[in-house]
Structures are given as structure tokens and as C-alpha cells.
Amino acid sequence: MGGAGAIGSVIVRDLLSSDSVEEVVIGEIDKDRSLRLIQSINDGRLSFKHIDVRRVDLLTEEMKKYDVTINSTWFEYNLEVTKAAINAKARLIDLGGLYYMTLKQLELDEDARKAEASILIGCGEDPGISNIMVRYVSDRLDEVDSVLIRDGDRDLKPPQRITFKFSVKTMMNEWTRNAVIFRDGRYEEVPPLSGIEEFEFPEPVGRVKVCFSLHSELATIPRYIGKGLRYVDFKINYDFDMIDILKKFGFFSDQHITIDNLEISIKDLTTHILRRCMFDPSRDTIDDAACIFTKIIGKKDGRDIIYSMYALSTSKKEWNTPASSYLTGVPASIAAQMMVKEEIKFYGVKPPETCIPTEKFLENLSRKNIIIGERIEKKW
């Protein structure tokens, strides 16, 4: 669902790269965009069906027809789609719920288990790869004190115009809502875009500024990792100069204005305008790199350990896909195929760190030209 979008189209292409996939249906509200994608891919296994995810009753009946459904629509629809999957006793994967939506979905775990539905939430880049790397490392430590998650992105060639590589509506939430961190066993809210630091990612991303951001990892990792975990945070890099200008001019305001008898908040108007700058593969080209990096601090055999792990990718040029889109779409495709093969098997509403075989999953990522790196520092 949302299969013709920036992330959805990557999922579609990656699914079709597997000979074991028999059929892929793009469930979309945008028929023209879907048909353009189908024409460009030119694969007889691919088709289109008009789907409005807000119609839970119709969506329920549709989901019964497929082995697995992947939801790559905007996160605000995650709850309706989750309820439809429970009603359909279906397998479902989504890409994350920006913390608060994730909490609402987790409340449906018991309903999903009773229905024998399998709802895998937050299985993209972050959340997704980040959660799996944290679980992989935590399983190798005796104690876990801190988890630091960092997301970095760099254009390797200047873009032809200002472009946003993922949902502007999601970014607007991240720019304006308090972030959440976990400290000493308690959740804390911190101001959006605060905690700016320079972080060294593997090349070619390199050293970039990152800040706190509201993210779904904080809704699940403190709950499921255990081992004495006391601290978790998430930071990401943005174009801070651009954001600062927008903020100073008041473009993030919730104040309502009237334009031609239409009342709208300034923030929603800003979002609407900035959406015109979304990356469009039909007119834009991209050459960039993205990295999701986790640093886990803990103990092994009485020794202090700093165990870092990362996943790194460059843009997929043959698909004209940004690196971050590739890192987000491929994990959902991998998870869907593993669920069909019953390599991932559970009932309920679960995040990746609770139900995905980490080594197998990371091996599958590596086969997709995603670099998986590890570094261990021991202290005595």
C-alpha cells in the first residue's frame, strides 16, 4: 500500500527482484502514478488496485487475499491499517509510527494475538535496521547500559534543486514536536532540534551535525532490550540552516490564517508548499549516501564494551533512488519474504527487535549491497 511512493516503489522493485515472489499488487489511491511505475518496471507479476486505507471495512476484505501486506503510506494511517489486518487475520508490515502511533499500535498486541494476526511494526531503516542492530549487539553483551542511535545522510553531488527525500509531513512533526529520550529508567521530553552534536559516520557520509528527533525506537527498545538498560536516544541530521530560516519567519506556527475563504494553519500551509520539493524520480537525479549507526555501551565478562554497528548505502542509480529510501524500502521487502517463508513467525503486534532472526536478516541486507560494519572497543 502506497506502493508508488518514494519508499513504496523501492519495496515493489526489490520484491520483484526475487524469483520466488509470484505477484505484487500496488494498492494506491493515485492510479496515474501507479500506472507510470508499472510501465517503467514492465514486469507481468505487477498490477494495480485502487485502495483507500481509510476504509477499514474494504481494506480488511482486500488483505485476506494476500500472503503479506506492506503499509508504506503515511504513518497517521497505521492504526486503521493495523485494525484491518487484525480483522483479516493477516500478516502486515509497516515502516514506523513516529513514537506515539507506535504506542497506540502496541496496545493492540493482545487483540492481534487472539486473532492470530502478525503485525510487524517499524521495519524500515530507522525504525527497523536500527532495532535489529541493537538486538544483535545486546544479545552478545551481559549488560547493556546505553544505546545511541544516529542517522546521517550526505549528498555526494549537489542536487539540481532543493529536495526532500522522505515525507515532508513526517519531517514537520520531527521539527516541531518534542523528542523523547530514555534516561535512568524514565522517559523524558526534550525540545525538537536540540542536543546538536557533530557525529562521525563512516565515509562517504563522514562528519555531520545531528540532533534529537522524535522516533519510534524509543517506544520499543527500552521496553524489550532489558539487561539493565538505562539510556536510549536518537539523533538525525537535517539542513539546520534552512530549518532555522523557516522557524524565524514563523512558518512552523499553529496559528490559523484564511486564504480565499479557506482556513488553514501556517504549519500545514508550509507543509503543503514544501511537498512540492519532494524528490521525484521522473525529473530528479540523485547521488547520495546514508548511514544508520548504533553505539551500544555495556559489559561482557566483566569488561566495559563499546560495540558500534552500522548499515551504509549509496543511492541505487539504476532505480534513481536516494540512499535513505533504499535503506528504508529493502528491509520491508526482506521481512515480507521471510514472513512468507515462516522465517519470521509470531502472532501479535511486534517491533523488529522482538521477532526477527538478527543474523539472517543482516545477511540478507548484505546481499543487497548494503554495507554492514562492526567495531568493538574494550576497556579494562
pLDDT at res. 379 = 66
Alpha carbon 215 to chain centroid, angstroms: 9
Residues 6 or more apart whose CB falls under 8 angstroms from that of 118 comprise 90, 91, 92, 112, 339, 344, 345, 346, 347, 348, 350
Strands (E) located in 55-142: 69-71, 91-94, 118-120
Q: For 164-209, what is each residue's pLDDT tens digit?
A: 887 888 888 899 999 999 999 899 999 999 999 999 999 999 999 9
Distance CA 323, CA 312 (A): 9
β-bridge pairing 231-236 and 256-259: unpaired
Q: Mark whether 188 and 306 lie in a shared domain.
A: yes
Sign of CA dihedral 66, 72, 73, 76: positive
Structure confidence at residue 282 (pLDDT): 67
277 in the same domain as 163: yes
Q: Is residue 378 part of a domain?
A: no
Residues 86 and 157 in one domain: no
* Phi/psi of residue 12, nearest 5 degrees: -60, -50
pLDDT at 259 over 90: no
Task: State in Å, rounded, how far the first CA of the chain is from the last one.
Answer: 51
- Asked if residue 373 belongs to a domain, the reply is no
Confidence at residue 24, expressed as pLDDT on a 0 to 100 scale: 97
Q: Would you say residue 347 has pLDDT above 90?
A: yes
Please list the residues that pair with 306 across neighbouring strands.
297, 377
Residues 40 and 102 in one domain: yes
At 373, which amino acid appears?
Answer: G
Does 367 map to a domain?
A: no
Residues 31 and 110 grouped into a single domain = yes
Tell me the C-alpha to C-alpha distance, in Å, between residue 99 and each of 21, 126, 219, 231: 32, 12, 5, 16
User: 335, 123 in Cβ contact below 8 A?
Assistant: yes
Q: Are residues 250 and 154 in the same domain?
A: yes
0.75 surpassed by pTM: yes
- Of the three residues 320, 347, 375, the one that is the final residue of a domain is 320
Q: Which string of DSSP letters, residue by residue, matches 328-351?
A: HHHHHHHHHHHHHTTSS---EEE-
Residue 366 inside a domain? The answer is no
pLDDT value at position 171?
87
The answer to whether residue 99 sits within a structural domain is yes
In a domain, 69, yes or no: yes
Residues 41 and 97 grouped into a single domain:
yes
220: Cβ contacts below 8 Å, ≥ 6 apart: 102, 106, 122, 127, 131, 351, 353, 354
Report yes or no: 136 and 359 within 8 Å, Cβ to Cβ.
yes
What CATH number did the domain enclosing 42 receive?
3.40.50.720
CA distance 258 to 223: 44
CA distances from 157 to 9, 37, 266, 285, 322 (A): 23, 26, 33, 10, 12
Q: Is 259 domain-assigned?
A: yes
Q: What is the pLDDT of residue 380?
A: 55
What is the spatial distance between Cα 361 and Cα 370, in angstroms, rounded to a whole number?
Answer: 12
pLDDT over threshold 70, residue 255: yes
Structural domain includes residue 374: no
Do 219 and 345 lie in a common domain? no
Do 247 and 286 reside in the same domain of the chain? Answer: yes
User: Do 247 and 310 fall into the same domain?
Assistant: yes
Domain at 144, CATH number: 3.30.360.10
Beta-carbon contacts of 289 under 8 Å, excluding residues fewer than 6 positions away, are 153, 154, 156, 204, 205, 312, 313, 314, 315, 323
Count of structural domains, the chain: 2
Q: Are residues 69 and 147 in the same domain?
A: no
Neighbours of 103 (CB within 10 A): 14
pLDDT confidence of residue 152: 97
DSSP H or E segment with residue 103: helix 100-106
Of residues 252 and 163, the one with the higher pLDDT is 252
Domain identity same for 213 and 310: yes
The helix (run of H) or strand (run of E) holding residue 198 is strand 197-200
Q: What mean pLDDT do residues 49-75 have?
A: 93
Residues in the chain: 380
Structural domain that includes position 51: 8-125+329-360
What the block records as the C-alpha cell of 119 is 503485525
